[in-house]
Structure 1
Amino acid sequence: MTVLRLGTRRSALATTQSSWVADRLRSLGHDVELVEVSTQGDRDTTTPLAQLGGTGVFVSALREALAEGRVDLAVHSLKDLPTAPDPRTTVAAVPVREDARDALVARDGLTLAELPAGSTVGTGSPRRHAQLAALGLGLEITGLRGNVDTRLAHVHDGRLDAVVLAAAGLRRLGRADEVTEWLDPLQVLPAPGQGALAVEIRADDAVTAAAVAPLDDPDTRACVTAERVVLADLEAGCSAPVGALAEVVEGMDGAELSLRAVVAAPDGSADLRRSLTGAPEEAAALGHRLARLLLDDGAADLMSTSTSTDRSVTERAQ
């Protein structure tokens, strides 16, 4: 039996996610070997991600390993994938999504509303920064990098009053009991693709494509397709405060795709929220329509102010 070499980053969350995929492939009768790949983002943990090139720094090394034939597939947090396609690779499977929300871990079990004005909240995301500021709670929001343990330690050690992380990562690492509030998307919309995984392979590898195809979840793929089209059409990247969430819901005539998005001024002084519904099989078209609606209503003007903001806050939940 041919061994499938699965490329993964070395972080605890990345290896947990990759092991989850490997276990499902093994249950289908495949032999899978994890191959650790060091990325620039993992080696340099102090330079702001925007200066390193955004979240793509966690993807490029894995894609090179794929293209060079050192691994047969790679597992990414889907929100880390650049929206621009790489002709050498393809996302062959998008497994069922974990919790897409953001989560608060605060001292003394506090919720956002219970944190006193002036409380320090750490996040590595301009999207979270902008939406938290827009709530008008008087919080002091500060940039933060590092893996999940490093970020949580800032609260446990008293250096910060709270941190905001992706709920999916905390659940996958068995740290959900530390969450003091699951943030409602009505308050804070997640990053496009948050909570979902991408299984990427070489574009010409039909054998591996067939092996991973059973892992693909059509509803999750439809949702993340719509979300990422919004991001791509807005020409926004990791340094832009853009959130999007699609969900397959039951409509009057059967399943439909509900898509919401937000574009915010980086300082939270203004935001633009819009939503549309459509057929799940027309996910990309729905994303295009919502992006056009946002642009027509002034999204570009809001995003243009991001060039004057602190680039040290960048989107990363690993």
Structure 2
Amino acid sequence: MTTRTTTRTIRVGTRASLLAQTQTQLVIDAFTGVNPGVPVETVLVSTAGDRSPAPLAQIGGTGVFVSALRDALLAGTIDVAVHSFKDLPTTAMPGIALAAVPRREDPRDALCARDGRTLLELPRGAKVGTGSPRRTAQLRALDLGLDIVAIRGNVDTRLARLDKDLDAVVLAVAGLQRLRRAHVVTELLDPIQVLPAAAQGALAIECRESDEDARSLLAPLDDHSTRAAVAAERSLLAALEAGCTAPVGALAEVTEGDDGLLEIFLRGSVTAIDGSDAVRLSASGPLNTAEEIGRRLAAELIDLGANTMMGSS
């Protein structure tokens, strides 16, 4: 356990949403557990994604929830930023370090439906809400006759629509678990049906690259297997030149190979927004080749027409 102490207060930046603050508090609790005596302060930061009710693709998609936090880091108004990893652009930002990637929560998507229904129990024409083009595309590809409705808002706002105009909503399991809302899940969606977004369920903890003190204090929070898995997924996303709003699914798992060494098994998919076509492949390799595995799988998906599907409407 780290016993390092400092008189400096570590200012942790977070978005103001309940989920963001809950995730940040989990990080702070873990941080103080390994750094007893180090003062911590939470700083709320407003982002473009929080201020605008427009669809993410209209307001910029990738980065709309993280740019303000990164600006605050570089300006020195906060020392640490906590993000949902799937919101981060795949390109690194000069001056900022990915200090830690804590152990990942369940990466799957969840169906929350009226009357406890599962996906196959929903009637044709049922209205299913989601703000994700990836989920929209994959649900349409299942050809269940569902009416996919675009929605925005926090978790509770989306769930409240079940009492109004929607039959079901699809949300990330991790967020529901962190908010203690797991009881509303009526079905955990198998990745064979709906492949999660790259880095879904994972958190990213950033600090200034030059802040050796913060980097040292945050290092114990890092989970090597989660970092490697997410690196493979995000490498695939980057190679496809796709942002967080693209209809791309990616899920990497760290497993033990036949030789007893750890390896990564990565699944990736690209689905046309209208659900008319999809490509899905997998690749595996040693743990220390995570990014290479992602790039290789992306190239194979492109060979099968992935780029055309990402541009479909």
The alignment's TM-score, normalised by the length of structure 2, stands at 0.96
Paired letter, 1:208: A
Which residue of structure 2 aligns with residue 33 of structure 1?
A: 41
Q: Which runs of 5+ in 2 are unaligned?
A: 1-6
- CA displacement, residues 181-230 of structure 1 (integer Å, 9 cap, x when unaligned): 00000100000000000001111111100000000000000000000000
| Inter-partner Cα distance in structure 2 for 1:99 and 1:108 | 24
> 1:250 offset after TM fit, Å?
2.2
Paired letter, 2:61: G
> 1:41 offset after TM fit, Å?
1.3
| Inter-partner Cα distance in structure 2 for 1:117 and 1:71 | 49
Secondary structure of the corresponding residue to residue 294 of structure 2: helix
| Inter-partner Cα distance in structure 2 for 1:180 and 1:251 | 34
The answer to whether structure 1 residue 257 and structure 2 residue 264 are counterparts is yes
| Inter-partner Cα distance in structure 2 for 1:65 and 1:257 | 35
The answer to whether structure 1 residue 125 and structure 2 residue 132 are counterparts is yes
Which residue of structure 2 aligns with residue 24 of structure 1?
A: 30
| Inter-partner Cα distance in structure 2 for 1:238 and 1:208 | 28
Which residue of structure 1 aligns with residue 212 of structure 2?
A: 206
Which residue of structure 2 aligns with residue 191 of structure 1?
A: 197
Which residue of structure 2 aligns with residue 314 of structure 1?
A: none
| Inter-partner Cα distance in structure 2 for 1:55 and 1:43 | 15
Q: Is the 8 A contact 2:100 2:205 kept in 1?
A: yes
Q: Is the 8 A contact 2:130 2:151 kept in 1?
A: yes
- CA displacement, residues 101-142 of structure 1 (integer Å, 9 cap, x when unaligned): 000000000000000010000000000000001111110001
Which residue of structure 1 aligns with residue 295 of structure 2?
A: 288
Pick from 181, 190, 195 the counterpart of residue 175 of structure 1: 181
Paired letter, 2:86: K
Paired letter, 2:141: A
Paired letter, 2:186: T
Please identify runs of 4+ aligned residues in structure 1 that moved more than 3 A.
none
Secondary structure of the corresponding residue to residue 40 of structure 2: strand
Which residue of structure 1 aligns with residue 76 of structure 2?
A: 69
Q: Is the 8 A contact 1:154 1:160 kept in 2?
A: yes
The answer to whether structure 1 residue 104 and structure 2 residue 104 are counterparts is no
Secondary structure of the corresponding residue to residue 249 of structure 2: strand
Q: Is the 8 A contact 1:120 1:141 kept in 2?
A: yes
Paired letter, 2:48: Q
| Inter-partner Cα distance in structure 2 for 1:55 and 1:160 | 27
| Inter-partner Cα distance in structure 2 for 1:114 and 1:93 | 41
| Inter-partner Cα distance in structure 2 for 1:55 and 1:228 | 13
Q: Is the 8 A contact 2:62 2:245 kept in 1?
A: no
Which residue of structure 2 aligns with residue 146 of structure 1?
A: 153
- CA displacement, residues 229-276 of structure 1 (integer Å, 9 cap, x when unaligned): 000000011332000000011221122210000001011111000001
| Inter-partner Cα distance in structure 2 for 1:267 and 1:169 | 27
Q: Is the 8 A contact 2:86 2:244 kept in 1?
A: no
Secondary structure of the corresponding residue to residue 268 of structure 1: coil
The alignment's TM-score, normalised by the length of structure 1, stands at 0.94
Paired letter, 1:160: L
Q: Is the 8 A contact 2:127 2:168 kept in 1?
A: yes
Secondary structure of the corresponding residue to residue 269 of structure 1: coil
